[in-house]
Amino acid sequence: MGTEQVAAGATEPETVALIPVLDDNYVFVLVRGRRAAVVDPAVAPPVRDWLLQRGLELEAILHTHHHSDHIGGTPDLLRTWPGAAVIAAAADRARIPFQTRGVRHGERIRVLGRPLEVIGVPGHTAHHIAFHRPPQDGSAGGDLFCGDTLFAGGCGRLFEGTPAQMHDSLRRLAALPEATRVWCAHEYTATNLAWAHATAPADAAITARLEAVRAARAAGEPTIPSCIGLEKATNLFVRAADADALAALRLSRNGWRS
């Protein structure tokens, strides 16, 4: 099971597929030719089956942070593809001990032969990172794999970071081109937007997006990817003026019940 979208502008076609796992997680697979990279494999079996059914060779596993529902499948995937690189935050080596390459904010690496930018986005965890694949050949889009920092219509809980850190992290992501596709790791969109609509009931953009999301979910479709422009228009956390405003929204969201 998975949904694939082609990344425009690449000389060799590239796709990003999402594989639903657990209750609401997504694992993302980048594919170029017969090569693949996996982002945040919560569990291994459905990911391994997806790759093997397509005859793909796993070259890299990317981790945005250390939580078990983002790294749990990696040891098992490495049994099938022992040569795959494991890329994660260097500062989190103790909590992601199987990484083969530690990276830091601002680094530019190559995965599947294409550049990938590492963006530090602390807040949800202390050493959370995101991966940004810039567009190629002048195309408008790009891809952002942001783990649990930016959600469609929301943001991650502050387990280890501060509102100021999360606000800075969201500002950093919001500065990416508006056409950048946002691949966040959970299907929380309908609940996030229901809360946003209850918080800002007169906001027409939020209302319209909530209706579209509910229709998609009723049809069994994922609401991911989003895009940076849509989040800037309808995500109250991205729109927060400062850290205090974000903290107030986070408190409201934590106490809200649908």
| Residue tagged active-site, from 127, 167, 186, 197 | 186
| Residue tagged active-site, from 70, 127, 128, 167 | 70
- C-alpha 212: how far from its chain's center? 21
| Residue tagged active-site, from 40, 63, 66, 69 | 69
Alpha-carbon gap, residue 67 to 31, rounded angstroms: 24
Alpha helices in the chain (DSSP H): 45-53, 68-71, 74-80, 163-174, 189-199, 204-218, 228-234, 236-239, 243-255
| Residue tagged active-site, from 65, 66, 128, 132 | 65
Q: Which residue has the tokens 């199987």?
A: 98
CB atoms < 10 A from the CB of 162, how many? 14
**Is 65 tagged catalytic?**
yes
Task: Mention every residue, 6+ apart, whose C-beta is less than 8 A from residue 74.
Answer: 41, 44, 61, 63, 86, 98
| Residue tagged active-site, from 143, 148, 167, 197 | 148
**Is 127 tagged catalytic?**
no
**Is 66 tagged catalytic?**
no
**Is 148 tagged catalytic?**
yes
| Residue tagged active-site, from 63, 67, 128, 197 | 67
**Is 67 tagged catalytic?**
yes
Q: What are the residue numbers of the active site? A: 65, 67, 69-70, 124, 148, 186
